């Protein structure tokens, strides 16, 4: 307890520490937001709640890590992870997801949970259970007498995440496929009637989601660490963000992603790094309870 109190008082004694924590959190939160955006996409378009989301992220990270082990520049790993994970996502859709898509929701949840277990273990067998990261070899910038350190690698990561997000948004808005995806999300039956091949749209959406996650993972391996079993925490974060922001609310997803990044950093600062997973989970419970209370109010109004 004293430890926690001391950590909290440190925040007030040196306000600049807050700035550092928020900055760190926002930079990592941008990547959470990317994975959460993919989840919201799949959730909104095909009503599949993908619990293997975090494992896509980790798999993308390992693609990038493996390439850099082969001597290929790590920055090229991001597009490579995007492409590889798109292919894997398409295969997973064809083998598993397309068969559970119109079943009840728990079935899809459990199918993707089985997928998550499988992926985590395959990654563990292929690459071992050590934590891995890729060093880009860039300098670190210091501000405010060295209180705030910003590695250039992290800045590049945020920049790439932003570019990718912008690219996806433009694609969804203006391309033919993006329009078809949005039409299917609004009303799949009507879309079918109007000649949209919804099966193709679903396959594309799922594969796009896997690709976004893969790219996010490739950035995460450059600015943070990955490990085969970290996937579930990433999945939970994505769920927290989407549940807090609501579907189809892109600014909300970004804000919630950045917010969760910052909150987790605060939690890690106050309670210690051992509580990181617990913090992600507790945030999920808090969000669910708050949503529940909101809905209860709506329900009472109806009565």
Alpha helices in 187-249 (DSSP H): 188-193, 198-223, 231-245
Residue from 110, 152, 169, 290 binding another protein (CB under 8 A):
110
Residue 225 per-residue DSSP state? -
Per rule CB under 8 A, is residue 104 in the interface with another protein? Answer: yes
The smaller minimum CB distance to another protein, of residues 121 and 163, is found at 121
CB 87 within 8 A of CB 210: no
- d(C-alpha 78, C-alpha 68), whole Å: 11
- d(C-alpha 78, C-alpha 222), whole Å: 10
Per rule CB under 8 A, is residue 281 in the interface with another protein? Answer: yes
Per rule CB under 8 A, is residue 277 in the interface with another protein? Answer: yes
Residue from 19, 26, 96, 247 binding another protein (CB under 8 A):
96
The smaller minimum CB distance to another protein, of residues 131 and 295, is found at 295
To the nearest whole angstrom, how small is the minimum distance from the Cβ of residue 143 to another protein? 34
Q: Measured in Å, how far apart are the chain's first and last C-alpha atoms?
A: 46
Per rule CB under 8 A, is residue 183 in the interface with another protein? Answer: no
The smaller minimum CB distance to another protein, of residues 224 and 229, is found at 229
The smaller minimum CB distance to another protein, of residues 225 and 278, is found at 278
Residue from 69, 107, 163, 175 binding another protein (CB under 8 A):
107
Per rule CB under 8 A, is residue 5 in the interface with another protein? Answer: no
Per rule CB under 8 A, is residue 10 in the interface with another protein? Answer: no
Residue written as token pair 């106050």: 270
Residue from 11, 17, 22, 288 binding another protein (CB under 8 A):
288
The DSSP H or E segment spanning 133 is: none
Instruction: Say what the alpha-carbon torsion angle 291, 294, 298, 303 is, to the nearest 10 degrees.
Output: 100
To the nearest whole angstrom, how small is the minimum distance from the Cβ of residue 188 to another protein? 14
Phi (first) and psi of residue 150, to 5 degrees: -120, 105
Tokens coding 135: 């060093």
Per rule CB under 8 A, is residue 114 in the interface with another protein? Answer: yes
Residue from 84, 115, 188, 260 binding another protein (CB under 8 A):
115
Per rule CB under 8 A, is residue 246 in the interface with another protein? Answer: no
Dihedral class, residue 14 (left if φ above 0, else alpha if ψ from -120 to 50, else beta): beta
The smaller minimum CB distance to another protein, of residues 112 and 207, is found at 112
The smaller minimum CB distance to another protein, of residues 45 and 168, is found at 45
Per rule CB under 8 A, is residue 200 in the interface with another protein? Answer: no
State the sign of the Cα–Cα–Cα–Cα dihedral 8, 13, 14, 18: positive
Residues near 50 by beta carbon (within 8 Å), at least 6 away in sequence: 39, 42, 43, 112, 209, 235
The smaller minimum CB distance to another protein, of residues 207 and 235, is found at 235
* Cα angle value 59/108/92 (rounded, 5°): 40
Query: Under rule CB under 8 A, which residues in 206-245 are in contact with another protein?
Result: 236, 239, 243
- d(C-alpha 9, C-alpha 5), whole Å: 6
Residues that bind another protein (CB under 8 A): 49, 96, 99-100, 103-107, 109-111, 113-122, 125, 236, 239, 243, 274-275, 277-278, 281-282, 284-285, 288-289, 292, 295-296
């Amino acid at each position: 307890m004293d430890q926690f109190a001391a950590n909290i008082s440190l925040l007030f004694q040196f306000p600049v520490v807050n700035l550092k924590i928020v900055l760190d959190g926002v930079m990592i939160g941008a990547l959470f937001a990317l994975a959460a955006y993919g989840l919201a996409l799949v959730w909104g378009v095909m009503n599949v709640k993908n619990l293997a989301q975090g494992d896509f992220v980790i798999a993308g990270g390992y693609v990038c890590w493996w390439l850099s082990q082969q001597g290929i520049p790590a920055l090229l790993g991001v597009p490579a992870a995007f492409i590889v994970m798109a292919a894997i996502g398409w295969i997973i859709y064809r083998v598993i997801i397309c068969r559970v898509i119109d079943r009840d929701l728990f079935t899809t949840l459990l199918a993707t949970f089985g997928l998550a277990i499988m992926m985590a273990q395959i990654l563990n067998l292929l690459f071992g259970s050590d934590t891995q990261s890729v060093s880009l070899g860039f300098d670190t910038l210091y501000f405010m007498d060295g209180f705030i350190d910003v590695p250039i690698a992290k800045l590049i990561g945020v920049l790439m995440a932003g570019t990718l997000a912008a690219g996806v948004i433009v694609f969804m808005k203006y391309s033919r496929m993006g329009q078809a995806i949005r039409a299917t999300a609004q009303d799949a039956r009507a879309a079918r009637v109007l000649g949209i091949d919804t099966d193709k749209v679903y396959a594309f959406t799922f594969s796009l989601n896997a690709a976004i996650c893969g790219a996010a993972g490739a950035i995460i391996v450059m600015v943070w660490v990955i490990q085969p079993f970290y996937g579930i925490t990433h999945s939970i974060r994505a769920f927290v963000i989407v549940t807090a922001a609501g579907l189809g609310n892109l600014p909300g997803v970004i804000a919630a992603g950045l917010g969760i990044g910052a909150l987790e950093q605060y939690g890690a600062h106050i309670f210690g790094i051992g509580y990181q997973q617990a913090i992600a989970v507790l945030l999920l419970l808090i969000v669910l309870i708050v949503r529940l209370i909101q809905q209860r109010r709506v329900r009472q109004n109806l009565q």
